[in-house]
Amino acid sequence: MDALTRASIYDILSLYLSMRYVIFDLETQNIFEEVGSNDPTALDISVATFYDSGTDKYSTFTINELDQAWPIVEQADALVGYNSNHFDIPLLNKYYPGDLSHIKSIDLLESIRQSLGRRLRLDSVAEATVGAKKSAHGLQAVRWWKEGKIDEIKKYCEQDVKVTKKVFDYALAHGHVKFKDGSRKREIPLDISTWMIKEDGAMTHSFLF
């Protein structure tokens, strides 16, 4: 390995270690058909899970505990999700006392769509890329909410974030993810060049100073 390669790897690792990111996922109490709208903000959150790279911990909250998530969110240099720009961030922003659009966003699905030209399910990408799978699906989580099975939703939501983290870590390390195209796996190159670059966007809206 030459000196330039070593220096490049060192720079990337330095950025990775200094960048504090939060990977998150939301589950809802209802579906679009029930609220008569395709707007995510018309839905209601049931459970949310957050992984904080600064503490290496997962935190899961019900809707009644959601205010406990804001200190985690506000420490992040970036929010990471899967379809988060079009679903999770607008929905979470409905509850947040400030504006989450002020914080950097890394949406894995958006990056995949930009490269491949179409959308893919997280399960499809995760299984081909890191051999991981979700434990259920969103409709099941809505049914669990109606049945009062909150612990099941929490387990499912946390598993979703763990799967997303595995895909995100792989993408950072390799610059691509994979998916199954028929019987063979294909790579999807991703532009990760700006992922670990910090942007100005201090989040202090919910802190009491």
Q: What is the pLDDT of residues 113-166, one digit of tens each?
A: 999 999 999 999 999 999 987 656 778 999 999 999 999 999 999 999 999 999
- Torsion angles phi and psi, residue 49, rounded to 5: -120, 140
Nearest to 202 by CA among 76, 115, 47: 76
- How far is the C-alpha of 77 from the C-alpha of 72, rounded, in Å? 11
pLDDT at 170: 97
pLDDT at 180: 87
pLDDT at 11: 55
Q: Are 43 and 35 in contact (CB under 8 A)?
A: yes
pTM of the model: 0.87
pLDDT at 117: 95
The fourth-level CATH superfamily of domain 3-189 is Ribonuclease H-like superfamily/Ribonuclease H (3.30.420.10)
Q: Which two tokens stand for residue 185?
A: 């796996």
pLDDT at 209: 36
Which residues does residue 204 pair with via DSSP β-bridges, in sequence order?
none
- How far is the C-alpha of 108 from the C-alpha of 78, rounded, in Å? 13
Q: Which amino acid is at 5?
A: T
pLDDT at 16: 54
Helix (H, G, I), strand (E, B) or coil at 108: helix
Nearest to 43 by CA among 98, 97, 86, 100: 86
The low-confidence residues of the chain, meaning pLDDT below 50, are 1, 4, 6-7, 9-10, 204, 207-209
pLDDT at 2: 53
pLDDT at 204: 46
For the chain, give every domain's residue range: 3-189
Integer distance in angstroms from the first to the last C-alpha of the chain?
50
pLDDT at 133: 75
